[in-house]
Amino acid sequence: MNLSESVGEIKGIGPKTQKILEKAGIRTVRDFFYNLPRDYENFRAPRSIGEMRPGRVLIKGRISRLTTRHAKSRNLSITEGVVKDNTGMVHVVWFNQTYRERQLLPHREYYFNGVYELKNGRYQLTAPDVTLTTDIDVSSGIMPIYASHGKLKTASFKRFIKDSRDKFAEIPDLIPMVKPKTRSEALFKVHFPNTMNDTIVGRNYLAYEELFELVLAAKLNKNKNSALKSIKIAFDVEKIRDFVGKLPFALTNAQRVAAWEIFQDMEKEHPMNRLLQGDVGSGKTMVAAMAAYEAIVAGFQVAILAPTTILANQHYDSLSKLLTPFGVNVALLTGDSAGKAELRKDIKNGKIDLVIGTHAILTDSTEFKNLALAIIDEQHRFGVQQRQKLIEKSPDGFSPHLLSMTATPIPRSLQLTVFGDLDVSILNELPKGRQPIETHIMPEIETREKLYPKIRETIKNGQQVYWICKSIEDGTLSCDDFGSENFWNSEKITKGETTSVKYRTEKLRRVMPELTIEYLHGKMKPEEKDDIMERFARGEIQILVSTTVVEVGVDVPNSTLMVIENAESYGLAQLHQLRGRVGRGSVKSYCFLLTAGDMKPSERLREVESSTDGFHLAEVDLKLRGPGEIYGSLQHGALDLRFASVSDTKLVRRVQDDVEKFLQTEPNLDEYEELRSGIQKYQQLTRLN
């Protein structure tokens, strides 16, 4: 079986269904078989109605008295009825599911799986899933539940999988070190379990397989890096000592250690491949400046690649102040730079020592005389081909040393696997004079009474405010209601609603008309975004209402108050990253996490409230959300671990040992087509492939 073939080759999947699947990311036969159930229902032991207790329950019975009514004031349809068995009856209700009246027939028997709870003074079964008893395989009693994609519901996937049952034996094995058919057996157990233990056994093998690909890719990358040649840059102790001695501030110990690790790497004959990760405000740019200066005094060129024009300008301003007094020629190269042709000529002739810029550096027309060090800020914002383009600008036969920087703390356990081919330096100290950000959880209903006075006080003191919203304009609260006085007087936002940037901006302008309030979001034109951020940086805007587009951006030391609306909808790492937009100066800064409704704050938010340690929060986030989502925020979903957990240290260690044994056999990966294609995506996470 060729797993790379189109999903349209699967029995029963026609052109229309194929388009829906491809839109959902299921493009190949491999994607189809690896579209595993999101959950399982065990129909072997339903409760009788007479023995039900509050909580999630599974019962079997017949339905009657099914009716639908409409609550116009709430734009809601309510379908309700009664489920009976020989021990009793229970009230059942669905919201906005009017089709239930047509679907459920009184003479048929169904399984009902839902929450049994007290509502409005009576117990009821709320919004249960419904399955015909005749649809369940009585031999196992376990039914897989697949995620829905458009019009394709779980029943559709069950049918496709069932029709492909005889094809599982043809699925080729991935890893040659295990007994034959292990992979096909694992997938079969997951799709057709006889017991819940089958699903565990199957997924455990798939987790092993997934980690094997990931660790092998990292090892191959490291081996390839060791085979490349780079320009050896000798450590000039006198020059660096003079540079550090003239700084207007003292380095942290973490900065000193990181710089020394980089200096040692650049002395080697194979290229440095180091990730410098520092918590917000930890001084990564200063470490990068020291590395750049070391390369420049040795007679070589350095390039710093930034994801945005405004961030490139910020680096240019700060590094020019640091390095120009030491005779370093610094240039800024962006799409908007004037005199680019002359500037590129100076870069090619070696007149420019340090080039700071955006994608303009990557064009074929930008050539270097002797590029020896490439520094990429927020490296996850650049694709593999873009990073490779920068590396290829080094002299023939050599690869430049590469220093990648990220402000997103990466859990230690994730470093050991995903970044197994990278050396990592960590900045986990704040420079002297920085104060920890004080964080508070606040129900949105209290914003008028408690938060607005704090905002006014902050602005009265000459400081600025960020206000983060989840959506641009399509939230539950719409701008269409701006004329309603009740709208302006109401501060309560019920659970499940999200507030848009445009709504919040207009609301704040109405409440505080004397202030300059603007909004920012990712769908604005680049020049519009840059203009807003530059005005905010100059202090011309007092409150900036924004989406998470400001998560990584220009430093504004004068901003000391951050408000994050609908805080529960963000991961811990992202909340911490957003919070880091304030606290960049010496003035005490604050962050308010607004929660909707009247529910108690979750443990997740309590962690953010009590800790400013980004690495601790990243570990907590890893446990709560898994590596796919954590690393997805860094690499836009490049790491999609569906089965494995990198925090499973025993399995990781076993896989690492097996990978070493596999590599000792000097394998030809061309003989293992499935394995080769599997590791390619993981190899592309780093700069060499």
In a domain, 603, yes or no: yes
State the Cα torsion 90-93-99-103 to the nearest 10°. Answer: -10
Provide the pLDDT for residue 305. Answer: 93
Encoding tokens for residue 256?
């000193």
The dihedral through the CA atoms of 624, 499, 38, 52 has a sign that is positive
Provide the pLDDT for residue 379. Answer: 59
For residue range 294-324, what is the model confidence (pLDDT) as tens digits? 999 999 999 999 988 888 988 999 999 999 9
Provide the pLDDT for residue 2. Answer: 86
Provide the pLDDT for residue 490. Answer: 35
For residue range 236-268, what is the model confidence (pLDDT) as tens digits? 999 999 999 999 889 999 999 999 999 999 999
Provide the pLDDT for residue 572. Answer: 83
Answer yes or no: do 364 and 507 share one domain: no
Give every residue of the chain whose pLDDT is below 50, as ranges: 474-496, 628-638, 686-689
Provide the pLDDT for residue 538. Answer: 92
Answer yes or no: do 473 and 536 share one domain: yes
Q: Cα separation of 356 and 581, whole Å? A: 22
In a domain, 433, yes or no: no
* Residue 656, CB-side half-sphere exposure with 13 Å CA sphere: 13
Answer yes or no: do 399 and 254 share one domain: yes
Where a domain ends, among 80, 109, 135?
Answer: 135
Answer yes or no: do 397 and 520 share one domain: no
Answer yes or no: do 480 and 395 share one domain: no
Q: Cα separation of 163 and 422, whole Å? A: 45
Assign residue 290 a region (left: φ > 0; alpha: ψ between -120 and 50; beta: otherwise). alpha
Count other C-beta atoms under 10 Å from residue 612's C-beta: 20
Answer yes or no: do 522 and 586 share one domain: yes
Where a domain ends, among 87, 120, 135?
Answer: 135
Provide the pLDDT for residue 380. Answer: 55
In a domain, 147, yes or no: no
In a domain, 648, yes or no: no
Which backbone phi and psi does 32 adopt, to 5 degrees?
-65, -50
- Domain membership of residue 100 as a residue range: 44-135
| pTM of the predicted model as reported, rounded to 2 decimal places | 0.68
In a domain, 188, yes or no: no
Q: Cα separation of 443 and 595, whole Å? A: 5
Answer yes or no: do 396 and 512 share one domain: no
CA-to-CA separations, 124 to 78, 80, 116, 223, 252, in angstroms, rounded? 13, 10, 6, 62, 61
Q: Cα separation of 586 and 76, whole Å? A: 51
In a domain, 37, yes or no: no
Where a domain ends, among 611, 643, 658?
Answer: 611
Provide the pLDDT for residue 493. Answer: 33
- SS3 for 554-608, per residue? CCCCCEEEEEECCHHHCCHHHHHHHHCCCCCCCCCCEEEEEECCCCCCCHHHHHH
The domain tally of the chain equals 3
Tell me which H or E stretch contains 294.
helix 284-297
Question: Whose CA is closest to 117, among 107, 105, 126?
Answer: 126
Q: Cα separation of 311 and 555, whole Å? A: 9
Compute and round to an integer the Cα radius of gyration of the chain: 29
Question: Whose CA is closest to 547, among 532, 558, 534, 537?
Answer: 532
In a domain, 430, yes or no: no
End-to-end CA distance of the chain: 28
Answer yes or no: do 485 and 538 share one domain: yes
Answer yes or no: do 546 and 455 share one domain: yes
The dihedral through the CA atoms of 498, 501, 503, 508 has a sign that is positive
In a domain, 31, yes or no: no
CATH of the domain at 252: 3.40.50.300
Q: Cα separation of 167 and 626, whole Å? A: 31
The pairing of beta strand 559-564 with beta strand 543-546: unpaired
Answer yes or no: do 496 and 539 share one domain: yes
Answer yes or no: do 469 and 607 share one domain: yes
Answer yes or no: do 397 and 453 share one domain: no
Question: Whose CA is closest to 173, among 165, 164, 182?
Answer: 182
